[in-house]
Structure 1
Amino acid sequence: MKSINLTELVDAGATRKTSDGYLIADAKVARTGIQRYAGYELGFADRGVMRVYRPEEEVFKAASLASFAGKPVTNDHPATSVSAEDWKEKAVGHVGNDIARDGEFVRVPFTVMDKATVEQVEGGKRQLSVGYSATLTVEDGFTPEGEPYDAVQRDIKVNHLALVRAARAGSEARIEDGAKWGASPIFDHKEEAIVKTYNIAVGDKAFVVNEDGKEAVDAMKIIVADKDAELAEAQKQANEAQAKADMLADCPSSKIVGQNWLSISGVSGPIAC
C-alpha cells in the first residue's frame, strides 16, 4: 500500500457571473468506478496500464466528501500541494461547503474570484480536475458489476480543484493538466481524447511511456546509432592500419622496391616483397 497524488478531470457545467464579477458554478467533480493509469505514473515501471478501482464506499465516505469543503480553486494544477503557506499565490477561488452525492459523481459548488481566470473560463477553459491524495493497494478483484481491476484507491483526501483545458473523468465532469501534480487517468471513451502510450524496449527491459517519453527514447536511439557508426568507422581504420603494419613486418626492408606502391584493403604502402 502506498500514498500517491492523483488528478481527475470533469466539466464546469452551468456558470453564472455575479455583480462583483465572480463566477459561480456547480459541478460534478469526482466519480466511482474504474479508471486506467499508466503503471509508471503510479510508481510501477514494470507494469503496463493498471485498472484502478474507486469503490463507492470510499468516494462517498464522510471524510472524503468533507475534504472538498473550502478547498482552493487553482488555475491549472500547482506543482505541489496547496497549503496555508502558499494559498495566496496559488488560489483563484474556493470550493463551497454544500458537497453532495449525484449518482456516481460528487457534486460541489465553487467560485472563481480572480478576474483573469474568470475571463479564461468564459473563453473556453471549462474543465475541472480534482487534485487529491489516496492510498493505493495493488490487489486483483472484480467490481460489483463484474469489471476486473488491478488496484484499489482508499482514503481519498482532496487538496484543490484545478481549472484545466481537458478533463479526464469524462465529458460529464467538465467546467490538459498544467503542472504535473499527480498521476492522471487514461481515457479510452470514444468521445474523449485518448492519451496514447507506447511499449518501449531498452535492452532487456520493457517500459510503458507516453508521447514525451517515446520522443526522448527515439532521440536517444538516434544518438546511440550515430555513436555506433563512429565506432565502426574507427574500428575500420584501426583494422586497415594493422593490416599495413602486418604487411611491412612480414617483408625484409631490403626488398622494398623504389617508389612503387601497393594498395591493400584501401591502405597504401610501399611494395615490400
Structure 2
Amino acid sequence: MNTQQRAILSKARRLLAMDAEWDESKHPRAENGRFGKGSETNKQTETKSLVKAERKASNFQQAREQAKAFQGKQLVNDSSGLTAVASRNSLDKMLSGKAVGKSSSPALHSLAVANADKLYESAVYGWSKPDRSDDPNITAIHRLFSVLDTDDGRYMAKLTVKETGRTDQNNKFYTIEAVELNEKSPAAQWVDSTVQADWPDPTSIRSVGDILSLAKTVEQNNMITRDNNSIAQDTARSYDKDGRLHVAVSNISKATVNPYYGGEIPNYRQLGLEPKKVYYLLRDPEELEKAAPTFNNLPLLNKHIPVSADEPQKEVIAGTTGSDTVFEDGYLKCSLAVWDAEAIAGIESGEQVELSSAYHYTADMTAGEFEGRHYDGVMRDIVGNHVALVDVGRAGRDVVVSDADPFHERKTMKLKAGAKARIQAAVQPLLAQDAELSPDELLQVIGSLNNEVQTAQDDGGELPPENVENVGTDGDDSDDGENNTAPAEDEAPEAPEGGAPKPAQDAAISKMAMDAAIQKAVAAERKRAQALAAAQREVAHIVGDVAMDNAADVYKFALEQSGIDVTGVHPSAYRAMVGMLGKPKQPMAQDAAKTAEQFPGLSRIRKA
C-alpha cells in the first residue's frame, strides 16, 4: 500500500466514522448532488437511484431471457452522461459462476441482471480507478451504485463500466452485483470494503460519503420493514388458555407463476405435454378468488401429505384454517388455529414460519404473460386440499404465519425402545456440553449399546422431484413413533458447573460422557447424510445417480457437467446455483418442494 492509498483509506474511514454524527440538515446539497446550497437533492438522489424490479427473474435462464430487452443497446447514465453497452458476452459474464458469488444470492443476482438497464440509467456515479491489467484500450474503470426495490426488500447494486479509449468501440457495461444491507451486513462495512478494494481517485473521495448515505438508506429501510413485519406478526398472534395459537390473518397462497415438469401436470398425456419438459403455470388471481371458499376449514398440517375423509392423516394435523378465506391484493388470506405444541414451537422459533397450500386444479395450457413473466398455462378450477407449515415456501417469504420448498429427504437414525430410553437418560444431563464425535467414534459408541441402531429408509419408488425456485432445509421431523417428551428434558439433573464431574461420580460420568455426545453426533451425521441425499436427488435429473462422499462435491459435479464455471465460488453457493438450473415438482399442486422428501414413507402407501 503506497502513501496515496493510505491517505485515501484514512480519509474514507474518517468519513465512515463521522456518518453516525452527520447532520444532513446542516449540510444541504447543491443541485448537482454535492454538499453546498440546496436541501432536497439528497432525497431526490435517493429517489432517482431507486429502481423497481419490474422484470421478474429468479434463475439465470429467466434473467438471460429478460436481458434480451436491452442487449446490445446503448445505455446512458442519467447522473453522469456515461454511456455503455451490455453485449452478449458481458451478459454471459454477469451470469457466470464467479459473478453470482458476489451477490447475496443467485436469485437476487438474476433479478438484478434482468433489470440491469434501469439500474444503470438511474445509478449514482461513484468513482473511477485505473484498469488493473493496464490494457491500453481501457482508460478507466467506473463504479456506479443504484438501489433495487423488490417485494422482499431493497438491495444495493454495484455496477462496473469499462471505458474504452477508442472511438470505434463502446464502453462496456461489465459486471453487476446486488447485496443485502442490514444490521448483520452493515452499510458502512460494505462501503468500507468496496473502497479498500478499489482505491478510488482522491478527487472522488467525497463520493464515498454519497454512496455511504445511499447505502444507509437501504439498510435503514430493510430494518424498518423487518421491524414492521415483526410487529404485524406479533399483533396478529394470540394464545388461548390452553396454549393454542390463533393467528388473525395470514397469507396462505398468492397469484404467481411457478415452474412444473410436464409429468406433474394433471392429464399431461392428453394435453400433449412432455413429461420431462418444464412448463410455467400461472396461479391465476381470478381463479384464486373463486377458489377462496374451498380453503375454509382445511386441515393445517406440519408436513405436506394429501388428505381426505378416508385418509385424514391425523398424526400430522397441527391445526386448521379459519372460515374467513378471502382473496385480497394478490393473496389468499385467512385466519389460522395451531393446536400442536411442536408446530407452535416451530413457528415461534422461525423454523416453520412459512405456509404452503395444496390444491387440485385443471390445467389450461393457454400461454400468456403475468407481471412481466411468461407462462405456458393457467391453473383453473382450483380446490383447496390442505395447508402445510414449512420452513421455506415456494410462494415466497410473504406467505408467512401472521406456498413450500422443504425437499430434504428424511433419513432418520432410529433406535429400539430400550436403547433410546438409555441414551436419553444418559444424554440429558450433559446436553449443554459441546462434545463431538467423528462418524467412526459414533459407531463405536453406538456399538456399546448392543448394536441397537437402525436406519429408517423408504422402500419403493418416489414421486417426481420438484422444480423449485428456492432451496429450503427441513427441521428434524423424525417419524419413529417414539417422540421425546419436553418434560423429560426439563426434569433432567443439571451438569456440574463448568462441565467438570464430581470426583465421587467419575465412573458414572465417564460412561455418560461417552454417551452424552450421541445426540449431537447423531444430529451432525444425520445432517451430513440428509445433505448428501438431498444433493443426489437434486442433481439426478441433470447427471443421474452420483456416488460421492459429500454434498458439495455432488453439486460441483452437476454444475461443471452443465458448463457452469465454479472457479472462485465458495462451495456454500453450489446448491443455490444448482437450484437456478431448474428442477423437477408434483402431481397434486403443492406450493412446496418434493413430497417424497418432505415425508418419506408416502411411497409405501398404496390403494387397495
TM-score tier (shorter): 0.5 to 0.7
Q: 1:90 to 1:140 in 2, by over 3 A?
A: same
Q: 1:65 to 1:177 in 2, by over 3 A?
A: same
Correspondence 1:24 to 2:250: no
Contact 1:132 1:157 in 2 (8 A): yes
Match for 2:406 among 163, 177, 194? 177
User: Which residue is 1:138 aligned to?
Assistant: 365
SS of match in other structure, 2:367: strand
Is 105-114 or 42-51 further displaced after alignment? 42-51
What amino acid is the match of 1:68?
Answer: F
Q: 1:182 to 1:86 in 2, by over 3 A?
A: farther
Q: Distance in 2 between matches of 1:212 and 1:46?
A: 15
Match for 1:35 among 248, 252, 258? 258
Map 1:221-240 onto structure 2 (within 5 A): none
What's the offset of the Cα at 1:152?
1.1
SS of match in other structure, 1:166: coil
User: Which residue is 2:279 aligned to?
Assistant: 50
What amino acid is the match of 1:99?
Answer: T
Match for 1:158 among 380, 384, 396? 384
Q: Distance in 2 between matches of 1:77 and 1:152?
A: 23
Contact 1:41 1:183 in 2 (8 A): no
What's the offset of the Cα at 1:106?
0.9
What's the offset of the Cα at 1:123?
2.2
What's the offset of the Cα at 1:131?
1.2
SS of match in other structure, 2:318: strand
SS of match in other structure, 1:171: coil
TM-score relative to the length of structure 1:
0.59
Contact 2:363 2:377 in 1 (8 A): yes
Q: Alpha carbon RMSD of aligned pairs, Å? A: 3.3
Map 1:65-84 onto structure 2 (within 5 A): 65-78=292-305, 80-83=306-309
User: Which residue is 1:211 aligned to?
Assistant: 539
What's the offset of the Cα at 1:193?
4.3
SS of match in other structure, 1:173: coil
**% of aligned pairs identical?**
26
What's the offset of the Cα at 1:16?
2.6
How many equivalent residue pairs? 189
Q: Distance in 2 between matches of 1:182 and 1:97?
A: 33
Q: Distance in 2 between matches of 1:57 and 1:166?
A: 25
What's the offset of the Cα at 1:122?
1.7
What amino acid is the match of 2:327?
Answer: R
Q: 1:13 to 1:150 in 2, by over 3 A?
A: farther
Match for 1:186 among 459, 468, 484? 468
User: Which residue is 2:424 aligned to?
Assistant: none
Match for 2:318 among 67, 92, 96? 92
Match for 1:60 among 280, 284, 289? 289
Q: 1:39 to 1:167 in 2, by over 3 A?
A: same
Larger RCO, structures 1/2 (Cα 8 Å, 6+ apart): 1
Contact 2:301 2:319 in 1 (8 A): yes
What's the offset of the Cα at 1:53?
1.4
Q: Distance in 2 between matches of 1:16 and 1:214?
A: 46
Residues 183-204 of structure 1 deviation map (CA, whole Å, 9 limit, x = unaligned): 86632xxxx5499xxxxxxxxx
Q: Distance in 1 between matches of 2:472 and 2:346?
A: 24
What's the offset of the Cα at 1:169?
0.4
Q: Distance in 1 between matches of 2:312 and 2:337?
A: 19
Contact 1:82 1:90 in 2 (8 A): no
Q: Distance in 2 between matches of 1:45 and 1:71?
A: 33
Q: Distance in 2 between matches of 1:183 and 1:158?
A: 22
User: Which residue is 2:375 aligned to?
Assistant: 149
Q: 1:93 to 1:186 in 2, by over 3 A?
A: same
Contact 1:186 1:194 in 2 (8 A): no
TM-score relative to the length of structure 2:
0.28
Contact 2:338 2:344 in 1 (8 A): yes
Q: Distance in 2 between matches of 1:155 and 1:13?
A: 31
Mark the runs of 5 or more structure 1 residues left unpaired by the alignment.
Answer: 1-10, 196-208, 220-273
What amino acid is the match of 1:211?
Answer: V
What's the offset of the Cα at 1:109?
0.4
User: Which residue is 1:123 aligned to?
Assistant: 349
- Greater fraction of residues in helix: 2
SS of match in other structure, 2:358: strand
Contact 1:82 1:160 in 2 (8 A): no
Q: Distance in 2 between matches of 1:182 and 1:13?
A: 35
Residues 212-239 of structure 1 deviation map (CA, whole Å, 9 limit, x = unaligned): 54464345xxxxxxxxxxxxxxxxxxxx
Contact 2:264 2:275 in 1 (8 A): no
Contact 2:263 2:276 in 1 (8 A): yes
Q: Distance in 2 between matches of 1:59 and 1:86?
A: 24
Contact 1:28 1:102 in 2 (8 A): no
Mark the runs of 5 or more structure 2 residues left unpaired by the alignment.
Answer: 1-228, 410-461, 474-536, 548-608
